[in-house]
Structure 1
Amino acid sequence: MTTPISYFQRMYDADPDPWSFETRWYDARKHALTADAVPNRRYRSGFEPGCSTGMLTARLAERCDRLLAVDAVGSAVATAAERVAGHPGVTVRTGRMPHDWPAETFDLIVLSELVYYFDDADLALLLESVSGSLAPDGDVVAVHWRWPVDEHARSGDEAHAALATVPGLHRIARHEEPDFVLEVFSRDPRSVARRAGLV
Structure 2
Amino acid sequence: MSFDHRDPGTPEAEWARCGALHRAPELDLAGVDRAVVFAAHPDDETLGAGGTVHRLARAGADVRVVVATLGENSHPDSTTYAPHELAEVRREEMVAALRTLVGPDAVPHFLDLSDGSLTEEQLRAPVAEHIAWAEKGRKPLVLSTWEQDGHTDHDTLGRTVALAAGARGVRCVQFPVWLWHWGTPTRLPRGLVRVPLDDVDRAAKRAALDHHVTQVRPLSDRPGDEVLLGEHVLAHFERPAEFFVVATPDQSAVFDRVHTAAADPWAVDTSWYERRKRDVLLGCLPRPRYERVLDLGCSTGALTAALARRAGAVTAVDASDVALRAARARLAEEDLANVELVHAVLPADWREDWAGRDLVVVSEMGYFCSPTQWHELLGRCVAALRPDGHLVLCHWRHPIADWPLDGADVHREARRRPELRRVVSHRERDFELEIFGLVPRDEP
- Please tell me whether the aligned partners of residues 421 and 439 of structure 2 are also in contact (alpha carbons under 8 angstroms): yes
State the Cα deviation string for residues 151-176 of structure 1 (Å, max 9, x = none). 23111111101111233211011111
* Poorly superposed stretches of 4+, deviation over 6 Å: none
Q: Which amino acid aligns with 2:398?
A: W
SS of structure 2 residue aligned to 1:75:
helix
In the alignment, which residue of structure 2 is the partner of 1:27?
274
Measure, in 2, the Cα distance between the counterparts of 1:124 and 1:149.
18
Measure, in 1, the Cα distance between the counterparts of 2:338 and 2:417.
29
Higher strand fraction (1 or 2): 1
From 317, 321, 333, the equivalent of 1:74 is 321
From 96, 99, 103, the equivalent of 2:348 is 99
How high is the TM-score relative to the length of structure 2? 0.41
Measure, in 2, the Cα distance between the counterparts of 1:180 and 1:56.
16
Measure, in 2, the Cα distance between the counterparts of 1:167 and 1:60.
28
2:364 counterpart of 1:119: no
2:264 counterpart of 1:17: yes
- Please tell me whether the aligned partners of residues 301 and 330 of structure 2 are also in contact (alpha carbons under 8 angstroms): yes
1:171-190 equivalences in 2 (<5 Å): 171-187=422-438
Shift of 1:188: 6.1
State the Cα deviation string for residues 132-191 of structure 1 (Å, max 9, x = none). 1111111011100011121231111111011112332110111111111011101268xx
In the alignment, which residue of structure 2 is the partner of 1:87?
336
> Which stretch shifts more, 6-15 or 109-118?
6-15
2:364 counterpart of 1:108: no
SS of structure 1 residue aligned to 2:340:
strand
Say what the alpha-carbon RMSD is for the aligned residues. Answer: 1.4
2:248 counterpart of 1:2: yes
Q: Which amino acid aligns with 2:376?
A: L
State the Cα deviation string for residues 55-79 of structure 1 (Å, max 9, x = none). 1111111111010001111111011
SS of structure 1 residue aligned to 2:367:
helix
Shift of 1:4: 2.0
| Structure 2: stretches of 5+ with no match in the other structure | 1-246
In the alignment, which residue of structure 1 is the partner of 2:413?
162
Shift of 1:129: 0.7
Structure of higher RCO (CA pairs closer than 8 Å, 6+ residues apart): 1
SS of structure 2 residue aligned to 1:96:
coil
Shift of 1:28: 0.5
- Please tell me whether the aligned partners of residues 67 and 90 of structure 1 are also in contact (alpha carbons under 8 angstroms): yes
Shift of 1:52: 0.2
In the alignment, which residue of structure 2 is the partner of 1:197?
none
- Please tell me whether the aligned partners of residues 16 and 75 of structure 1 are also in contact (alpha carbons under 8 angstroms): no
In the alignment, which residue of structure 1 is the partner of 2:293?
46
Number of aligned positions between the proteins: 189
In the alignment, which residue of structure 2 is the partner of 1:147?
398
- Please tell me whether the aligned partners of residues 141 and 184 of structure 1 are also in contact (alpha carbons under 8 angstroms): yes
Q: Which amino acid aligns with 2:342?
A: R
Measure, in 2, the Cα distance between the counterparts of 1:88 and 1:12.
23
- Please tell me whether the aligned partners of residues 37 and 141 of structure 1 are also in contact (alpha carbons under 8 angstroms): no
In the alignment, which residue of structure 2 is the partner of 1:193?
none
Measure, in 2, the Cα distance between the counterparts of 1:26 and 1:4.
27
Q: Which amino acid aligns with 1:4?
A: D
Measure, in 2, the Cα distance between the counterparts of 1:16 and 1:97.
23
Measure, in 2, the Cα distance between the counterparts of 1:3 and 1:109.
24
Change (3 A) 1:146 1:3: farther
| Structure 1: stretches of 5+ with no match in the other structure | 190-199
Measure, in 2, the Cα distance between the counterparts of 1:65 and 1:179.
31
2:392 counterpart of 1:138: no
Measure, in 1, the Cα distance between the counterparts of 2:420 and 2:314.
21
State the Cα deviation string for residues 21-70 of structure 1 (Å, max 9, x = none). 11111101101111111111111100001000001111111111010001
Measure, in 2, the Cα distance between the counterparts of 1:44 and 1:30.
23
Q: Which amino acid aligns with 1:162?
A: E
Shift of 1:99: 1.4
In the alignment, which residue of structure 1 is the partner of 2:306?
59
